[in-house]
Chain A
C-alpha cells in the first residue's frame, strides 16, 4: 500500500561504507529487530545479492568491495512500523568506482542520472580512514627545515629563484589522487543540480561510517567541519541543501575484533545490537534507518 513516493540517492567513493550500511539496513528492516525503526514494505532488486552481503555482515565478515560489473541497484520501500500510510524510498547501491568515474572521466551512469532527476534527497557516505587530504609542500617544508636545522634561503641569496626548478620525478596531476573533499563537493554539485531542477530544496544525510574509529565526544558535524571543511562549507552555504549529520558504525567495531562483535550478537540474540548510530546531539541508537527517516522528511 503505497500512498507517497520519494526517491533517494546514495553518494560515496570506494570503501566509504555503503555496502556495509546496506547489509545492516537490510537486516534491520527485514527482521524488525530494532524498535521504532522503519520497516520493509516492498522490495525490488537482486535479493540474492542482499542476502549474501547481509549474511557476511551478520557473521562480522569483511564485505567485498563492490566492483562495477557487480553493481547492484537495490530498491527498498520503507515505512514507519506504526503507520498505515507508507512512504516509498528507493535506494540505489552503487560501487564507489562509478563516482570516481563521475569525477575523473566526467561521465554519469544514466540510471543514476534518472534517479537524481526524481530524487528529493540522499545519503552521502564518508569513511574517516579513507579521507585523502591535500598536503602542501609549503606546510611541510618548515617542519623539515626545523628537523634538519636548515635556514630558509633569503630572497637575496637566491636571485634566480623566481622560477622553481622541476623535480625529475615530478608526478602529473591525477584526478584519482585529488582530495576526497574536492571530489565529494563535485559529486554533490552534480546531484544537487539535477535534483533542484524540479524542487527548491533537497535533504542530504551526511554519514560518517566506521564511527567506532572516532573520538566519542565529537559530533558528526564537528568531525566533518574539521576533516572535510570544503564539503562542510558547501553544504552549509547552499540554501538548496538541508543537511543532517550521522555517525554510523554498521559493524559496531573493527573486524579485527570480530569475535567480540559476534559475542555481542550471540548474547543478545540480535545482530542489530552491534550497530551504533550517533546523531548530531550525540544521542545513540541501533536504528540504522534513522538517516533514511530524516531524508524522507519523517522527522
Chain B
C-alpha cells in the first residue's frame, strides 16, 4: 500500500472544503457529500472537540466494514450500549454500506460491499453520547480500510510504518474471522495472519505501551455451533489463538483485551452487534492517556511519608517521572 496518509495530508483542507461549499449555480449551494473522510477532512472534526480514532484492522472479509455498518444498523433500532446516536458527517456513506444487508437490495443473504484497497476516503464518523446525558457528545472516527491494505502492512515493515493512522489511533481493533477459525483447512492461516499483523505493528513501533488493543473474534455465532463436540473444538482453538496473542504481545502493549462478537450474526440465538456493547463504550470513552496515568499510578513506588503524598497532591509535576 502506498502511504495514503501522506497523499491525504497533501490535499489542502481549505481547498477541499471551499470546493464543497461553493455555490454551484444561481439557485443552489453544494452540501457536503457525506462520504467517508480523508485524514485531512477529518481534522475539521478532531480540531473541534474530543474525538476518538478507532483503527479497525483485519484480513479480507473478516468483517471490518460489516462491523461499522452493523453499528449503524443497530442505532437505527434504538440506543445501544447505553449510548445515543448524536449525528454523523458521513451518513450517506454509512447508509450505502448498509445497503446489501437490507431486503431493498433484493438479495436473499446479507452482504457488505468490498472496500477497495488504497482509497483515501477511509474514515467513517459517528457522534455518540451516553444515554443519561451526563456527559457530552463524543466524536468517534472509525477507519474503513481494505483487507488488502492490512495484507500489505503485514508483508512489509515499510508499508506498516506508512500507516500512520495505526500510531495515531486511540484504539487498535483487530478482527479475527471466527468462521475461518472453524475450518480445519483455513484456521491456521487465519491465526497466522492476525499474529503477523500484530507483530509487524509492534516491531515497526506503530503499536506499543501507548496502545489500547482489542482483539475481536467476529462471527462468534458460526463458532458456537449446535453440535457440542464441534463447538468445544472451535472454542478451544479460539482460546489457543487468544492465549498465543496474549503471551506474545501483552507485555508490549498498553492494554490487550479479547472479545467474542457477532456483528451481523447469521445463525439463531444471536442479536445484531452481539458482544459489541463493552467494546463500543470503551472505544467511545477510554483514552490512551488515561491508561498511561493508570499505569504510572500502579507502577509508582509507594510514597514514604504523608508529607511526600501531600507534596504530590500539591505539585504533581514534581513526581511525574517517578514510576516510569
Contacts and interface: CB of A to CB of B under 8 A. Distances in A.
B268 A136 contact: no
Interface string B191-215: 0000000000000000000000000
Interface in A111-145: 111, 113, 134-138, 140-142
B147 to A, nearest CB: 12
A166 B107 CA distance: 7
Given A134-B98, A167-B107, A230-B75, A106 B84 contact: no
Contacts of A225: 78
Nearest to B180: A162
A215 B110 CA distance: 34
A170 B107 contact: yes
A213 B289 CA distance: 53
Given A137-B107, A138-B101, A236-B84, A107 B24 contact: yes
B216 interface: no
Interface stretch (B220-228, B253-261, B290-298, B301-309): B220-228
B49 to A, nearest CB: 12
B85 A155 contact: no
A152 B34 contact: no
Contacts of A186: 34, 91-92
Contact of B31 (A108, A164, A166, A173): A108
A179 interface: yes
A100 B28 CA distance: 14
Nearest to A103: B92
Contact of B87 (A142, A167, A185): A185
Interface string A183-203: 001100110000000000000
B183 interface: yes
A239 B100 CA distance: 34
A163 interface: yes
B107 A135 contact: no
B108 interface: yes
B72 to A, nearest CB: 9
Contacts of A103: 92
Contacts of A190: 31
B61 interface: yes
A109 B31 CA distance: 10
Contact of A233 (B29, B79, B179, B182): B79
B79 A137 contact: no
Nearest to A159: B183
Interface centre among B75, B102, B223 (most CB of A within 10 A): B102
Contacts of B171: none
7 contacts: A134-B102, A155-B225, A155-B267, A161-B179, A186-B92, A237-B87, A238-B86
